Amino acid sequence: MLYHVRMDVHVPRDMGAAEFDALKAAEKTRAEALQREGKWRHLWRIAGAYANYSVFDVTGHDELHAILSSLPLFPFMDISVTPLARHPSAID
């Protein structure tokens, strides 16, 4: 199943720079692994915000939830999920 996901990150202002850098590095490592596995199909930054639009290709809601909750920045995210279905006019 394909899912369109928006993730907005809200890191606490009192988080130390070193802790934040470590979280970002862990997040990058996890995101790259999921992309290599084919689970995280597309990842786009939203200009002007600490946020992204992504497309995930997973078996269902439970797998998506497990993946999203495994992200190191998950505790600091507001996430919006939209399941996608093939459009009847799509040619690919």
**Residue 89 resides in a domain:** no
Please provide the average confidence, as pLDDT, over all residues in the chain: 97
How many domains does one find in the chain?
1
- Token pair 């915000």: residue: 49
pLDDT above 90 as % of the chain: 99
Residue numbers of the domain that contains 71:
2-84
**Residue 90 resides in a domain:** no
Task: Give the C-alpha separation, 52 to 64, whole Å.
Answer: 16
Is the predicted pLDDT of residue 61 greater than 90, yes or no? Answer: yes
- Nearest alpha carbon to residue 72 among 8, 41, 29: 29
- Other CB atoms within a 10 A radius of the CB of residue 71 amount to 20
- 3-47 pLDDT, tens digit each: 999 999 999 999 999 999 999 999 999 999 999 999 999 999 999
* Strands of the sheet with 77-84, listed across from one edge: 40-45, 51-57, 2-9, 77-84
Q: 72 CB contacts (<8 Å, ≥6 apart)?
A: 23, 26, 27, 30
Q: Quick one: pLDDT at residue 23?
A: 96
**Residue 15 resides in a domain:** yes
**Residue 42 resides in a domain:** yes
